[in-house]
Chains A and B, each alone.
Chain A
Amino acid sequence: MKLRFFLPAAAVAVLCASLWYGLNAIRGGQYDPQLIESPLIGRAAPDFIAENLLEPAQQVARSQFLGKPFVLNVWGTWCVGCREEHGALLAIAKETDVPIVGISWKDDRQLARDWLAQLGNPYHVVGVDPEGKIAINWGVYGAPESFLVGADGRVLHKRIGPMTLDIWHQDFVPLLKKTGSSPQ
């Protein structure tokens, strides 16, 4: 039996092994084929300036958070996942001093204000992004998305989908600690 006749079997075995590895990664949660990785991780957080939702005369800007870690959360009243995560955001806001900056994405201002009034406001401030320009700069493709920005100004993590307390503790807090910031 010449060895080269085993080549096809070997090639298929390699393919099956890698597919098996991939499936296990999906089951273990390390890989989600749906998610598009963000190129912003590890790079400087994009700049933004927006009208303040609750105080229209004022502005919400990136420069206001220099030197401090913060969470940027992109949401809308039209988004089902945002409704789901709202309770978690409130809980996180209670637990931590890290400000949660909201970006009201392509939403009606009044609806957004009413929503916060009714359900509670976990946000330190909320900026308005009616045309989605800020969202595009942050590479947002589907609400809700939450970004963790470290004290040094770099994006540490991106959560695509509703935030939960578990994810806060498992993914966000350790990163904050690692960069020397206290999550408290």
Chain B
Amino acid sequence: MTVIRPLATLMLGILLAVAAHAVDTEVPLADPVQQERYETLIHELRCLQCRSQSLADSEVDLAGELRSEVRRLVAEGKSEAQVKAFLTARYGDYILFRPPLNERTWLLWLAPALLLLGGLLIAWRVVRHRTGLVSGDPEEFDAGDREP
């Protein structure tokens, strides 16, 4: 039985690595619209070393550098979509917290609506069936029986 150095420890180590730009202390961008776009973006992009954190929350070097890139692009006037395109061209869709909507992810995005419709349809059929089975005897249960 091989003993594998716990992956958890490794990842936790990376998670907590003290780095040069631990927390984002840059001066806010002059244009408030751009600043807000920047803040939205860094919360929507994944840190690639500490995979469960966003760029905003991650303390590692790479996150700081990517934040700088995002800042630079936003300051140049790029839109949210353009910044995301820039990063996905280099790192793939993985860097997005919110999966894109394309021919591979349509099921993921359509699932809530599909399941909701399906579920409600099933519920409707069940209730309709049961309504037909209600006996004509109204005294079987107390008028206000609400005991759980």
Residues of A within 8 A of B (CB): 36-40, 46, 106, 131-133, 136-139, 141-142
What separation, in Å, do the CA atoms of A132 and B94 have in the docked complex?
Answer: 20
- In the bound complex, residues from chain B placing their C-beta under 8 Å from that of A137 are 90
B69 within 8 A of A: yes
- In the bound complex, residues from chain A placing their C-beta under 8 Å from that of B88 are 39
Pick from B65, B89, B94: contact of A131, CB under 8 Å: B65
**Nearest chain A residue, comparing its CB with the CB of B92:** A39
Whether A142 contacts B49 by the Cβ 8 Å rule is yes
Q: List 21 A-B contacts (CB under 8 A).
A: A38-B91, A39-B90, A39-B91, A39-B92, A40-B90, A46-B90, A106-B61, A132-B61, A132-B65, A133-B69, A136-B65, A136-B66, A136-B90, A139-B90, A139-B91, A139-B92, A141-B48, A141-B49, A141-B91, A142-B48, A142-B62
- In the bound complex, residues from chain A placing their C-beta under 8 Å from that of B48 are 36, 141-142
A-B contact count (CB 8 A): 38
**Nearest chain B residue, comparing its CB with the CB of A137:** B90
What separation, in Å, do the CA atoms of A126 and B109 have in the docked complex?
Answer: 45
What separation, in Å, do the CA atoms of A78 and B129 have in the docked complex?
Answer: 70
Min CB–CB distance B119 → chain A (angstroms)? 15
What separation, in Å, do the CA atoms of A74 and B49 have in the docked complex?
Answer: 16
- In the bound complex, residues from chain B placing their C-beta under 8 Å from that of A37 are 92, 94
- In the bound complex, residues from chain B placing their C-beta under 8 Å from that of A139 are 90-92
What separation, in Å, do the CA atoms of A48 and B94 have in the docked complex?
Answer: 24
**Nearest chain B residue, comparing its CB with the CB of A139:** B90
Q: Which of B61, B66, B89, B90 has the most CB of A within 10 A?
A: B90
Bitwise, B89-111 to A at CB < 8 A (1) or not (0) is 11110100000000000000000
- In the bound complex, residues from chain B placing their C-beta under 8 Å from that of A136 are 65-66, 69, 90
- In the bound complex, residues from chain B placing their C-beta under 8 Å from that of A142 are 48-49, 62
**Nearest chain B residue, comparing its CB with the CB of A43:** B89
- In the bound complex, residues from chain A placing their C-beta under 8 Å from that of B49 are 141-142
What separation, in Å, do the CA atoms of A36 and B49 have in the docked complex?
Answer: 11
**Nearest chain B residue, comparing its CB with the CB of A36:** B94
- In the bound complex, residues from chain A placing their C-beta under 8 Å from that of B89 are 39
What separation, in Å, do the CA atoms of A28 and B20 have in the docked complex?
Answer: 38
User: Are A36 and B62 also in contact (CB < 8 A) when A141-B48, A142-B49 are?
Assistant: no
Q: Which of A38, A131, A137, A141 has the most CB of B within 10 A?
A: A141
- In the bound complex, residues from chain A placing their C-beta under 8 Å from that of B91 are 36, 38-39, 139, 141
**Nearest chain B residue, comparing its CB with the CB of A46:** B90
User: Are A36 and B65 also in contact (CB < 8 A) when A141-B49, A142-B49 are?
Assistant: no
What separation, in Å, do the CA atoms of A39 and B49 have in the docked complex?
Answer: 18
